[in-house]
Amino acid sequence: MTSFVLKIIAVISMFLDHLGDCIYGGFNSFNYIGRLAFPIFAFQISEGYLHTKDLKKYFLRLFAFALISQIPFMLFTSILDSSFHLNIFFTLLLGLLAILIYDKVKNKIIGILSFFLLCIIAELIHVDYGYFGILIIFIFYIFKDHLIFMNLAYVGAVILKYTPALITTKFYYPNLLLCLATMAPIILLNFYRGKQGKKVKYFLYIFYPVHLLVLYFLHLWTTV
């Protein structure tokens, strides 16, 4: 499986996830499908770090689209609630920074402490997916050459994420299904063989804010 195929799967699942939010204005069955998207994007950040020819441009591109996407993201999330969050590009940006610091510092303890600090920052500034987003990006990089450990660490991170909700709701089945659905992307990632496939770099960057705006206005139109 190529990087291109993984990205298309992620885009389709993200769109269906957000389409469900647009239609129902709250939790719905499309959200299970949507759990495929972010882990694949997180994995692509790790791959992007390893293969980019210009890391500075990579950072600037993520930051630029984080700024561009924030208003569309806020408009779209207003369908669901009024709380403030930063969009997924900020999450990916912090994850990339965690990888960079860990990779460049000689003392890996400092690198790990920096990772924990960025997880705390992610929670404080309310980026989408919070600490979990930074954690799995870091896992995909740290265990990039150890597939079994990557699988185990990823599943462990998902369990960590959903344990509070599962305990407080007495393992209410929608939360259990969400947990299992979030584990599912690791199966797809096991079929990745390091091939890029077709290049769709800017399509993915542009698709994110555009589809959020389209779905937001669709929601307004259908609720008039």
How is 159-213 classified by DSSP, letter by letter? Answer: HHHHHHHHHHTTS-HHHHHHHHHHHTHHHHHTT--S---S--HHHHHHHHHHHHH
φ/ψ of 52, rounded to 5, equals -65, 145
Look at residue 173 and tell me whether its pLDDT is greater than 70: yes
Residues listed for the chain: 224
User: H-helix or E-strand containing 114?
Assistant: helix 108-124
Within 10 Å of residue 181's Cβ, how many Cβ atoms?
17
Band of residue 87 on the pLDDT scale cut at 50, 70, 90: very high
**Contact in structure between 59 and 86 (CB atoms under 8 Å):** no
For residue 65, give the nearest of 196, 210, 200 by alpha carbon: 210
Look at residue 213 and tell me whether its pLDDT is greater than 70: yes
User: Cβ contacts of residue 206 below 8 Å, gap of 6+?
Assistant: none
Q: What does the pLDDT look like over 15-74, one tens digit per residue? A: 999 999 998 888 889 999 999 999 999 999 999 999 888 999 999 999 999 999 999 999
Look at residue 113 and tell me whether its pLDDT is greater than 80: yes
φ/ψ of 127, rounded to 5, equals -75, 155
| Average pLDDT for the chain | 93
Query: For position 74, what pLDDT does the model report?
Result: 96
CA atoms lying within 13 Å on the CB side of residue 216: 16
Average confidence (pLDDT) over 193-213:
87
Q: What does the pLDDT look like over 186-196, one tens digit per residue? A: 999 999 988 88
Query: For position 156, what pLDDT does the model report?
Result: 97
Copy the structure tokens of residue 190: 């096991």
Predicted TM-score of the model (pTM): 0.93
Largest CA distance in the chain: 58
Query: For position 224, what pLDDT does the model report?
Result: 64
Cα separation, 75 vs 210, in Å, equals: 12
Query: For position 203, what pLDDT does the model report?
Result: 86
Amino acid at 24: Y
Query: For position 196, what pLDDT does the model report?
Result: 81
SS3 74: helix
Cα separation, 185 vs 140, in Å, equals: 12
Cα separation, 123 vs 116, in Å, equals: 11
**Contact in structure between 49 and 141 (CB atoms under 8 Å):** yes
Least confident range from 47-56, 151-160, 170-179: namely 170-179
